Structure formats: C-alpha cells, structure tokens
Structure 1
Amino acid sequence: MSGLGERWLTAAYRGDAWLTLLRPLEALYRWAVARRAAAYASGRRQAWSAPVPVIVVGNLTLGGTGKSPLVAWLVERLAAQGWRPGILSRGYGGKGADHPLLVEPATPAAACGDEPRMLADQTGVPVVVDPDRPRGARRLLEVGCDILVSDDGLQHLALARDLELVVVDGARGFGNGRCLPAGPLRESLSRLDSVDAILVNGEPQGPLPLAARRMALAPSAWRRLGDGRRYPIAPPPFSGPVHAVAGIGRPQRFFETLEALGIEVIAHPFGDHHAFRADELRFADHRPLVMTAKDAVKCRDLAPGESWVLEVEASPEPAFVAWLDQRLAALKARPVSGNDDTNPRAGVMPAHPPT
C-alpha cells in the first residue's frame, strides 16, 4: 500500500471527520457488494464447489489482522489429524504470469507473493497462487489435497466453502464501521452474522460481537536470516538496541511485540507487502536488524550479516479449538459430492457462528 493509502487507512481506523465526504462513494460500493452477493445467493452466479471440504480464513477490514499465522496454525492442526491440507492464495504482490502457480522450494517471493512464500516455508504443505480461486482449488486437488484452506478468501464467493473464519485485529477493531472508501470495511458488519467463527487477535479495545473467540500471536523463536539457525526466545541472541523493519498491515504490532520481549527498538515501518531495497536494510551504526517472517522471504539476499527473524505462532483459545475439532470431525464423516445439481454445498454460505 502506498504512503497515501497508509495515511487514508490510518484515518479510516481513527474515524477522521473528512471521511464523511466519501459516503456517497461508500453507498455505491455497498450497492455493488450487495448486488454481487445476491447474484450468488439467487443462483444467477454459481459458486464452484470442491469435492473436498473448504475452509476460508479472511477478514472484514483492510490492513493486517493476523490471519496468516492462523492459516499456518490451522493447516498444521489439520495435518496432525490426518488430513492432507493445501493452501489457496491470491498471491498479492506476486508477479508470476502463469496460474495456477504451485509454490515450489525455489519459487521466489517476487513471483508468488510474500505471504504464500512464507506459508509454504512455515508449513511444508502445498500452496497454490491463483486469482481464480476455483481454478487454484482444482490444482490443489491434483497434488492430492483432501481439504483446502483459502487464505484471505472471505470475499471470493466464486469458491463455495464449508467454514468461514474471520480474524479481527483487537487493537483496531472495525475502525469507524464504514465501508470503503469512507472506512476500512470490505463488507458491511452484518456479514459477521453469516460466518462460522470470529477470532479477535489480541486485547480488544472496543465492543466486538458476543460470539467472538480470542487468539494471540506468541513469539516462538529467533531465526538467523543468513543460515536459518533457530534460537530460543529468551535470552535473545543479540544485545543492545535493534533496527526493526516491518512491511506488514500494522507494523506497530511487531514493534510492540519486540518491546514486550524487553528489546529496545529503533522502528522502521513500511507499507504492507513493501518491496525492500538493500539500502533500506543497512544502517551506519551496524546494530542488529530484526524483521518479520513475512518480510524475511523478500530480504534473504538483501539484508546484512546480523539479521534476525522473529517467528510467531497463533494461539487460539481452547474453546475455539474444541469447537473446530468438532466441526472437522463432522466434515470428515460427511460424504461430499462434486459441483453438481445435487450437491447441497454448491453456492451455499454458512449461517451460524459458534456460541
């Protein structure tokens, strides 16, 4: 996101008064979103239904919420239960021209996007990038996946889904509660009535739906960028102040995490999905450099010698984990047909959040 876009997003979350000027455009945006949803609900547009379960992890707002760590946690739990999961992504920022793109060990982040590259490295499961979600889903089926996780797929209605999980940033919530461009919402807040689960990342700073569950992002290890060697969180494998760079949806969350670990931070925030240059990672004082896992996949050949990656893991509350395991058991036990007229999943959106 550009500097202008970042300033607009900050204003949207603060609820700056000048955004009221954009409400006529917001009304047009809401109309377009509602018209598209109605087309799928009525059958005028048909969602493709995979012959295996599909779980969507998404958000209702622009900006980072912590959904990618939840995707990594989810596929690891699925694999531990005997599933063969695959991840489907839009691949924002990737420049690859051929789709569907199966992310291989040698696929650069520049081709597939930083989040798909990160998720492939972290989980080891198949990751496919394709703006056409049904086409990408079919590629995952070809490599043997028996359950699909669609990252940031809430608004991609062309792919039918069995579960919808929405992640909310506890600190920022839903901003001023308005839709684009007068606010940060991709869809109206009423959309939350039809999702299966709402997870709040971090301590909520305002009112949230009663059905919301809690999750946290917990630091799990330090990784040296150069050789990939991992170290325990405490004590950190470096000393003194560090230069912290973050090109994620909310860089301040990363800086706050470092400070909570007792690290003195010299903060360098960048826009989400920022394409780093070598000069942006080199500082005259030669202090250690610390970055996120998402940024690290783009900086392997750019960063100086003493560069470190803070690995984090999603930690959902036990009540959500128990609910999820029940839903997964039901999905595993249920026979599923393909995308035909007798398939009850085709084009059907889930309707009930957990209680």
Structure 2
Amino acid sequence: MSLGDRWLKAAYDDAAWLRALRPLEALYRWVVERRRAAYAHGRRTAWHAGVPVIVVGNVTLGGTGKSPLVAWLARHLAEQGWRPGIVARGYGGKAGQAGYPLRVTAQTPSEHSGDEPRMLARQTGLPVVVDPDRPRGARALLELGCDILLSDDGLQHLALGRDIELVVVDGKRGFGNARCLPAGPLREPLSRLARVDAMLVNGEPSFTPPVDAWVFRLVPTHWRPLQEGEPAALEPLPFDGPVHAVAGIGHPQRFFATLAALGVDATPHAFPDHHRFTAQDLAFDDGLPVVMTAKDAEKCASLGLGNAWVLEVEAEPPGDFAAWLDRRLAELR
C-alpha cells in the first residue's frame, strides 16, 4: 500500500493522527472558499458555452463510480436526440506534440489522454476532448457539432460555466471523517452539497445522506478479452480456476467484491489510482489468468498479456432520475 493509499484509508477510517492536520485543513478551506467567492462575486469570470453543460464530479478523493455514470449519461443523452460531447482534464496523461485540446479516440495512447477519457471514448463512441483548460476543451467540442456537454470530474473547475451539477458519492465509504484535505478526504466542505442539483450514491448508503439523493448501481455486463477476441457472457466464466485480479482505481475493494459476487476465485492486487502498469507488475509467473477493470485495461492493452480478461460494468440509475434529468434539460432547450 502506497503512502497515499495509507493516508486515504486513514481519512475514511477517521484515524486519530489526522487531527494534527486540522490547522492545514482550515487553511485549505479558506483557499477553497476564497476561490468560490471570486467566481460568485465576479472577480473571476466563468466561460459559458451557450449550450447546456452538465458537470459530474466528487466532493471526495477516491473512486465513486463516476466514470460509468458519465458513460450512461452520454448514451442516454444521445438516445434523447442530443449530440453530447465529454470534456475532461485527462488526469495522468500528457498530450505531448499532439497538444491541447486533444480529441480522444479508442486508439489514442493512454499516456496522452489519461485512462478514463480513452475508456469513455471507447465505451460511448461519442466525442471526447481532454484539456487542462476546460473552456478551451469545451469550445473544441462545440466545433465538432456537440449541442450538450458533459464535464467529467468538473465540480471544482469553476472556469467552465454549468447548468446542472451532479455529485457522485460512494455508498459504502461516504464522506469518511467529513474533514477537508489534508485532514480528511473532502475536496470541498459538505456544505457544497446544498448547491448541487442532484446527488447520486453508488450502492445503498451506509450513512444518512445530508441531502436528498438517488441511489444507482454498477452492474457487470460481460467479459471481454484484453486482446482481440469475442466478448463473453458473465456466466459461465470464460476462464477456469483461480485468477489474479488487478485494480488501479480509486476504490479497488469494490472491484474485488464484485468478482467475489460473480463467483471468481481471485487473488487481489491493488495498485494506486491511475497506476501506469508495466509488464513486470503483471508478471505473476504461474500461468493463471489476469482479470482487471475497464479503466485499467486502457493502460494494459499494449503489454502483450495473452490470458487477460476485462470486466465491463455499466451504471444503472433509477428511472425517476432519468425522468428528472429529461425535465431539467427540456427547460434548457
């Protein structure tokens, strides 16, 4: 477990030693509030796209299931007749000579785009652009003909104006000790939730949500080989016996629990979020299959693993959330 993973676990477990960091937390909260006030009072100006912008983000560090929800939103919007595009920061990627804004496809090297944008491009087939400058990335999507934008992990990127804010929370871990960085896992104080349009909780919450929330699930859909080949149904399993399970995501235990529920006999191997895998990381030298998340597959596809499988999952929000979203968007047309 890396130092960062140890700190994150302590933040969610409310470890006593984090109390020593509360003076730094106060400074962090002051900086966050000062930045928010600058946009609210016009000292900084957000750029508005002229089309609806939906921001999907977190108030916590660590995985919440946000990316599958973004993929669901993109597909749902397309089904409703919109022409959606996704703009993202591209965490972990550097565009290099390609430069920003970078149009992402399933063939874009993950070291240029980051893992999540490439996954979203592959899963949705819709325009995806990464750019640290969100307004510039949004303008690139408008030039591609998009008439509605999804800003992935954009809650704290206030330079891009937004019409709808959605915050995603992990149902099991919730808000940890409810403290802001570095004394806890919060990017912003919980009071921020009063200003978002909707909160979605991934899985039945083990806590009482501070605002009304919709509960959604991540549902496994099928297996696919990491290399070329035909997808396989969840049952029967496309491999025999035990496997090695690798996960370089924000909350790897969720993936391991999903495998157990599917009856997979897996030896878990947790890596830091956005870990850039090497062949040595996956050299287990026993011939057993390797299974991984779709996000990790974007970085492992070029490693030449011949006996590796990817578990694809989809977000499944409740019908009343979809109806609420469609009503809100009808007001914006």
Q: Structures share a fold, TM > 0.5? A: yes
Q: Secondary structure at the match of 1:221?
A: strand
Q: Which has the higher contact order (CA 8 A, sep 6+)?
A: 1
**What is the Cα deviation at residue 215 of structure 1?**
0.5
Equivalence map 1:24-43=2 (5 Å): 24-43=23-42
**What is the Cα deviation at residue 6 of structure 1?**
0.9
What are the superposed Cα offsets for residues 181-228 of structure 1, whole Å, 9 maximum, x if unpaired? 000000000000000010000121122134111000000010011114
- Partners of 2:297 and 2:69 lie apart in 1 by 18
Look up the match of 2:148.
147
Is 1:56 the counterpart of 2:66? The answer is no
Look up the match of 1:208.
209
- Partners of 2:2 and 2:73 lie apart in 1 by 33
Is 1:21 the counterpart of 2:10? The answer is no
**What is the Cα deviation at residue 320 of structure 1?**
1.1
**TM superposition score normalised by structure 1:** 0.92
- Partners of 1:256 and 1:109 lie apart in 2 by 27
Look up the match of 1:174.
175
Q: Which moved more, 1:294-303 or 1:80-89?
A: 294-303
Q: Secondary structure at the match of 2:215?
A: strand
**What is the Cα deviation at residue 134 of structure 1?**
0.5
What are the superposed Cα offsets for residues 111-153 of structure 1, whole Å, 9 maximum, x if unpaired? 0100001000000111110111111100110111100000000
8 Å CA contact 2:69, 2:315 repeated in 1: yes
Q: Secondary structure at the match of 1:301?
A: helix
**TM superposition score normalised by structure 2:** 0.97
- What 5-or-longer segments of structure 1 have no aligned partner? 333-355
- Partners of 1:219 and 1:17 lie apart in 2 by 37
Look up the match of 2:299.
298
Look up the match of 1:47.
46
- Partners of 1:255 and 1:50 lie apart in 2 by 40
Is 1:67 the counterpart of 2:83? The answer is no
- Partners of 2:229 and 2:135 lie apart in 1 by 35
- Partners of 2:232 and 2:326 lie apart in 1 by 31
**What is the Cα deviation at residue 105 of structure 1?**
4.1
- Partners of 1:186 and 1:212 lie apart in 2 by 19
**What is the Cα deviation at residue 327 of structure 1?**
1.2
Equivalence map 1:1-12=2 (5 Å): 3-12=2-11
Is 1:186 the counterpart of 2:187? The answer is yes
Between the aligned residues of both structures, percent identity stands at: 68
- What 5-or-longer segments of structure 2 have no aligned partner? none
- Partners of 1:210 and 1:128 lie apart in 2 by 32
- What one-letter code is carried by the residue in structure 2 that aligns with 1:74? L
Look up the match of 2:245.
244
Q: Which moved more, 1:205-214 or 1:140-149?
A: 205-214
- Partners of 2:157 and 2:107 lie apart in 1 by 28
Q: Which aligned runs of 4 or more in structure 1 are off by greater than 6 angstroms?
A: none
**What is the Cα deviation at residue 232 of structure 1?**
1.0
- What one-letter code is carried by the residue in structure 2 that aligns with 1:39? A
8 Å CA contact 1:281, 1:302 repeated in 2: no
- Partners of 2:229 and 2:33 lie apart in 1 by 47
Q: Secondary structure at the match of 1:230?
A: coil
- Partners of 1:283 and 1:303 lie apart in 2 by 14
- What one-letter code is carried by the residue in structure 2 that aligns with 1:86? G
Task: State how many pairs are aligned.
Answer: 331
What are the superposed Cα offsets for residues 44-73 of structure 1, whole Å, 9 maximum, x if unpaired? 111000011000000100010000000000
- Partners of 1:262 and 1:296 lie apart in 2 by 21
Look up the match of 1:275.
276
**What is the Cα deviation at residue 331 of structure 1?**
2.0
Q: Secondary structure at the match of 1:150?
A: strand
- What one-letter code is carried by the residue in structure 2 that aligns with 1:136? G
What are the superposed Cα offsets for residues 33-52 of structure 1, whole Å, 9 maximum, x if unpaired? 00000010001111000011
Look up the match of 1:309.
310
